[in-house]
Amino acid sequence: MGEFGLRYQLDVLDRFSLKGVFFIESLFASEVGPDYLKSMVELIRGRDHDIQLHVHPEWLRWMGPTRRVRGKNSQFLKDFSEDEQVAILGAGLANLRDCGARERVRVSRGELRGELRHAQGASPARD
């Protein structure tokens, strides 16, 4: 049986000499631990592709109290205040960096409130 998922995608990109950009959801590592996220980061970086931040705020309900946005539970960033969005993005970015991602991370502005401040080195992408 062949490879599937991330390894398969990397193989296809490499076969055609293409560079990929992978938007990785990283909040899950706060709940399940960093091993899976670290292996993804290592695979992508090892093949010289880009890593960008993607977050699913619904992970907040399972995250520990030090990084949790209290009193809210939504799958959409737009439902959080700007300060809460900065905290959420900061937690996701910290997880990526803890697992070896060193790229300058950009986030899509699609669901962000106002002119979101830079979250620990993340810069808003200009769509």
The reply to whether the predicted model has a pTM over 0.85 is no
Buried b / exposed e along 103-116 (16+ C-beta atoms within 10 A)? bebbbeeeebbeeb
Q: What is the pLDDT along the chain (127 residues), one digit of tens a residue?
A: 467 899 999 999 999 999 999 999 999 998 899 999 999 999 999 999 999 999 998 888 877 655 556 667 788 888 888 888 888 888 899 999 999 998 777 665 566 665 555 554 555 554 3
Alpha carbon distance 70, 68 (integer Å): 6
Alpha carbon distance 28, 82 (integer Å): 21
Tokens of 5: 């998922």
Tokens of 74: 């939504």
Q: Helices in 16-79 by DSSP H: which ranges?
A: 29-32, 35-46
